[in-house]
C-alpha cells in the first residue's frame, strides 16, 4: 500500500540523533554525501559504512525501516549495477558472451556503486527519520538566511516547503481513500494494458486534484484569517539552540571525512 512509503517520514524519538540541532544535522548530512563520493577505495567505503551504521545504531530506529526505504529503489540498484558491469571495461576479462564483456574493473565499480547508493539512501533517510518536518524547514530557512541579502525569498520558500511536507501524509491518505472508494465501485487500478492503466488513473486523479485545490483554498483562507503576511517581523515559538553535543557530532563527522581524505592520499 501507499502507506508503506517511508522515505521522508518522521519517527518521533528521544535518541541522541533526534536531539541534535537540525541545522547541524543538515550540514552533517551534506558532509556525509561528499564523504561517500570521494571515498573511492575499499577503505573509503568501509569508513563510510562504519559512519552510517554507527549513526543508524544511535538513532534507535528499527533496522527494517531502512530495509523498507531501500526496497522501492531496488530495481534502480539492479539496473545501475548491470549497466556498470556491462559497460565498464578495464582490467582482466572474466567472462565473455557475444558483445558482453564482464571485467574485473566493471565488477569493482558496480559493487562500489551499489554500496554507495545503499549507504546514501540509508544515511540520508536518517535525517528525515529523526527530524520533524517543521524543524527541518526551520533549520533550512536559517541556514539559507544569508541569501536574503541577495533578495532571495528564503522565508517564502521555506513556508512552501513546510506546507508541502505537511501535506504529503495528508495527500497519501487521501489517495489511499479515493483508491479504495473507486475500487469499491469495481475500478481496476493495477491491471490491463498501459493505455488502460492510464485511463484507470482518471477516477483517482480528478478527485485528488479537486480536493487538493479545495485544501489549498481553505489553508489560504485560514492563514489570512490569522493575518499571515510573510516573514517580516515574525518571531518563532521554538528557537533552535545548538550546544556541545552538536559541535561534538560535527567534529566526529569531520574526523571521518579526514580519515577518508587521508586514506585517499595514502593509496
Partner 1 sequence: MSILKTENLTYTYSQGTPFEKTAVKNVNLEIEEGELVGVMGHTGSGKSTLIQHFNGLLKPTSGRILLEGKDIWENKTEIRNVRFKVGLVFQYPEYQLFEETVFKDIAFGPKNMGLDKDEIERRVRETAENLGLPQECLERSPFELSGGQKRRVAIAGVMAMEPKILILDEPTAGLDPHGRDVILGQIKQYHKKTGNTVLIVSHSMEDIAKYADKILVMNKSELFCYDTTVNVFSRSKEIEAMGLDVPQITRVFNALEQRGLNFGKQVYTVEYAKELIMKKLRERGKVTRC
Residues that bind partner 1 (CB under 8 A): 3, 6, 11-12, 62, 64-65, 177-178, 180-188, 202-203, 206-207, 210-211
Closest distance to partner 1 from the beta carbon of 204 (Å): 8
End-to-end CA distance of the chain: 47
Which residues make Cβ contacts (< 8 Å) with residue 21, sequence separation at least 6?
Answer: 139, 240, 241, 242, 243, 246
Q: Determine contact, residues 124/33, Cβ cutoff 8 Å.
A: yes
Closest distance to partner 1 from the beta carbon of 26 (Å): 23
Distance CA 242, CA 20 (A): 8
H runs (alpha helix) in the chain: 16-19, 22-38, 42-59, 63-70, 74-87, 104-130, 133-144, 154-184, 194-225, 244-266
Q: Which is nearer to partner 1, 40 or 174 (CB)?
A: 174
Q: Determine contact, residues 64/112, Cβ cutoff 8 Å.
A: no
Q: Which is nearer to partner 1, 207 or 231 (CB)?
A: 207
Closest distance to partner 1 from the beta carbon of 201 (Å): 11
Q: Which is nearer to partner 1, 145 or 200 (CB)?
A: 200
Question: Could you give the 3-state DSSP secondary structure of residue 232?
Answer: coil
Closest distance to partner 1 from the beta carbon of 59 (Å): 12
Q: Which is nearer to partner 1, 185 or 195 (CB)?
A: 185
Closest distance to partner 1 from the beta carbon of 69 (Å): 12
Q: Which is nearer to partner 1, 64 or 241 (CB)?
A: 64
Amino acid at each position: 500500500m501507499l502507506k508503506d512509503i517511508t522515505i521522508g517520514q518522521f519517527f518521533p524519538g528521544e535518541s541522541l540523533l533526534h536531539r541534535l540541532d537540525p541545522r547541524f544535522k543538515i550540514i552533517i548530512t551534506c558532509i556525509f554525501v561528499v564523504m561517500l563520493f570521494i571515498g573511492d577505495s575499499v577503505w573509503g567505503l568501509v569508513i563510510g559504512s562504519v559512519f552510517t551504521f554507527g549513526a543508524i545504531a544511535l538513532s534507535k530506529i528499527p533496522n527494517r525501516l531502512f530495509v523498507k526505504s531501500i526496497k522501492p529503489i531496488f530495481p534502480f540498484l539492479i539496473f545501475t549495477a548491470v549497466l556498470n558491469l556491462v559497460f565498464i571495461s578495464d582490467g582482466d576479462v572474466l567472462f565473455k558472451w557475444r558483445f558482453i564483456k564482464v571485467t574485473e574493473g566493471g565488477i569493482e565499480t558496480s559493487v562500489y556503486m551499489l554500496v554507495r547508493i545503499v549507504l546514501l539512501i540509508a544515511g540520508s533517510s536518517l535525517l528525515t527519520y529523526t527530524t520533524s518536518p517543521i524543524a527541518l524547514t526551520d533549520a533550512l530557512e536559517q541556514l539559507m538566511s544569508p541569501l536574503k541579502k541577495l533578495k532571495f525569498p528564503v522565508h517564502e520558500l521555506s513556508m512552501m516547503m513546510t506546507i508541502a511536507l505537511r501535506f504529503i501524509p495528508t495527500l497519501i491518505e487521501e489517495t489511499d481513500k479515493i483508491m479504495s472508494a473507486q475500487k469499491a465501485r469495481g475500478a481496476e487500478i493495477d491491471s490491463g494494458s498501459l493505455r488502460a492503466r492510464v485511463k484507470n488513473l482518471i477516477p483517482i486523479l480528478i478527485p485528488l486534484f479537486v480536493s487538493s485545490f479545495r485544501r489549498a483554498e481553505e489553508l489560504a483562507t485560514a492563514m489570512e484569517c490569522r493575518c499571515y503576511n510573510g516573514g517580516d517581523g515574525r518571531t518563532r515559538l521554538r528557537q533552535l539552540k545548538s550546544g556541545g553535543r552538536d559541535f561534538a557530532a560535527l567534529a566526529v563527522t569531520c574526523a571521518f571525512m579526514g580519515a577518508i581524505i587521508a586514506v585517499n592520499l595514502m593509496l
